[in-house]
């Protein structure tokens, strides 16, 4: 299964890239996140308030995936 992964805001900065393609057996968005955690700078993906999207629609980490999906990770927006 091939998944296109995009990173936004400080996640993009921490990982040093805005997107990549990853291959593997992924049942859900969290499987992709777990696979990425070993990469340099990816500790930000372990944050509790992580937001994610599947095919440009907000979703939860347990959202199921199919081959060719796009997954995006981004931090929550805070205001003050």
Q: Output the domain CATH number for residue 44.
A: 3.10.20.30
Total domains in the chain come to 1
For 35-71, the pLDDT digits (tens) are 999 888 899 999 988 999 999 999 999 999 999 999 9
**Averaged pLDDT for residues 7-33:** 95
**Averaged pLDDT for residues 17-35:** 96
Residue 8 lies in a domain: yes
Partner residues linked to 51 by β-bridges: 74
| Residue located via tokens 């998944």 | 3
Global pTM reads 0.91
79 pLDDT band (50/70/90 cuts)? low
Residue 61 lies in a domain: yes
Structural domain that includes position 40: 2-74
Residue 52 lies in a domain: yes
Q: Is residue 78's pLDDT more than 70? A: no
Answer whether 28's CB lies under 8 Å from 3's CB: no
Answer whether 61's CB lies under 8 Å from 29's CB: yes
Residue 33 lies in a domain: yes
């Amino acid at each position: 299964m091939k998944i296109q992964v995009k990173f936004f805001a400080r996640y993009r900065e921490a990982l040093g890239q805005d997107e990549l393609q990853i291959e593997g057996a992924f049942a859900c968005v969290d499987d992709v996140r777990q696979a990425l955690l070993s990469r340099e700078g990816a500790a930000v993906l372990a944050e509790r308030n992580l937001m994610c999207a599947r095919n440009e629609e907000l979703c939860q980490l347990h959202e199921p995936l199919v081959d060719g999906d796009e997954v995006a990770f981004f931090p929550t927006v805070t205001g003050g």
